[in-house]
Amino acid sequence: MNTVYVVGTCDTKGGELRYLRDLIRDAGCDVVLVDVSVSEFHKEAADVDVQPSEVAGFHPNRPKAEELKDRGKAVATMSEALVKFIRSRPDVDGIIGAGGTGGTALIAPAMRALPIGTPKMLVSTVASGNVAPYVGPTDISMMYSVTDVSGLNRISRVVLANAAHSIAGMVLNKPTGIAADERPAIGLTMFGVTTPCVQAVTRTLEAEFDCLVFHATGTGGQSMEKLADSGLLVSAIDVSTTEVCDYLVGGVFPCTADRFRAFARTKLPYVGSCGALDMVNFGAMDTVPSQFRSRRLHVHNPQVTLMRTTAEECNRIGEWIGQRLNLCEGPVRFLIPELGVSAIDAPGQPFHDPEADIALFTALERTLRRTDKRKLIRVPLHINDPQFADLLVTNFREALREH
């Protein structure tokens, strides 16, 4: 049907939303205009397809009217309801929204709830800044509105028209041939310092599996686990678990508290390793927090400064990973490369620190509860040795057979 949902607050953005609707319809799509206004004084508009009251009815514990006089609470409540509303609709071929900070925060979670590949466009006043809280691990396209989303003018008409034609083009020109790839998909995590390992694994498996490689920059691990939760992966070879370091120590590429939980929820076969657990990431050297300036630092490039994890931090990291892997009931293989966990963790390299590595490995060994299906494997190899990649593949195949 090529149906596009246009979502926003018609009490303040009605003209802009209807402008989007009309352009998308003229481009050849069916359109559903969804009003998610939260003003208590807003009257239901005649020229929309879904009223705010209908959306609000999807909230599991719909609050009383007096509780929604606080705008922040009202936005959060409507946002939660919108997620459930959008998930209930079988005809969402694409979705577009427009708004300021409040509207962006309201609409983005519903977009994130849709499957990867469903076209998503969000015109926003915050799109030129840090959009990670809104995009998360999904494929939302954000377009900076330039002017505020507040009336139609010579700038907003052009920006909104570009957004309307973009979403229509995505919906009307769905990629073909992708579904024809019958290879099962697996997720792999890679960092610059683990690239040789991941590329070797991929070369070995790519004839049989669709190898999806995720850059371990915080959202990379989240994206991989979202695909696992969505049933789009059959397994993962999680070589580069480095995002845990940033989460626990305070770097700029952190995972979330939910890391590894997708594999606990789905019971998918999981193969992991210690890739880049020797480092915490910061921006340029002058952005490194003052409390870390005396630590062992390495300039990876002008925009990225690495900090070596200490033995105490490695102990915490190992325990944290082990505790989460204990929740996994499916086949688990976690491989420890005893001769180094990254390209710069080797004799003569800047992050070579056997004491810190031993603390990491010991914590993993102490914490991980081993069973017939959950195994910890220590080998006298470096993570980028070809033999280590071979072992990852061997254990991956074994875990798949057990599943």
- CATH classification at residue 324: 3.40.50.12030
Residue 179 falls inside a structural domain: no
Q: What is the pLDDT of residue 71?
A: 75
DSSP element (H, E) containing 231: none
What pTM, to 2 d.p., does this model score?
A: 0.79
Q: What CATH code is carried by the domain that includes residue 84?
A: 3.40.50.12020
Domain assignment of residue 309, yes or no: yes
Of how many residues is the chain composed? 403
In a domain, 39, yes or no: yes
Please compute, for residue 57, the number of CA atoms within 13 A of its CA located in the half-sphere on the CB side. 7
> Are 109 and 196 contained in the same domain?
no
Q: Return the percentage of the chain with pLDDT > 90, whole number.
A: 82
Tell me the C-alpha to C-alpha distance, in Å, between residue 248 and each of 219, 242, 298, 318, 321: 16, 10, 19, 11, 11
Considering the domain architecture, whether residues 138 and 198 belong to the same structural domain is answered as: no
* Contacts (Cβ under 8 Å, ≥6 apart) of 154: none
| Alpha helix (H) residue ranges in 89-217 | 101-112, 132-135, 154-172, 195-205
User: DSSP letter string over 51-108?
Assistant: -HHHHHTT-TTPPPGGGG-SHHHHHHHHHHHHHHHHHH-TT-SEEEEEESHHHHHHHH
Q: Using an 8 Å Cβ cutoff, are 145 and 16 in contact?
A: no
Residue range 101-148, pLDDT digits in tens:
889 999 999 999 998 889 999 999 999 988 988 998 899 999 999 998
Residue 378 lies in a domain: yes
Write the Ramachandran bin of 137: left for phi over 0, alpha for psi from -120 to 50, otherwise beta: alpha
Give 379: exposed, middle or buried? Use CB within 10 Å, 0-12, 13-18, 19+: middle
**Number of compact structural domains in the chain:** 2
**pLDDT above 60: residue 179:** no
Work out the end-to-end distance of the chain between its first and last CA atoms, rounded to an integer number of angstroms.
38
pLDDT digits (tens, 9 = 90+) for 240-273: 999 999 999 999 999 999 999 999 999 999 999 9
- pLDDT value at 90 more than 90: yes
Q: Based on the domain organization, do 85 and 134 belong to the same domain?
A: yes
β-bridge mates for residue 279, sequence order: 308
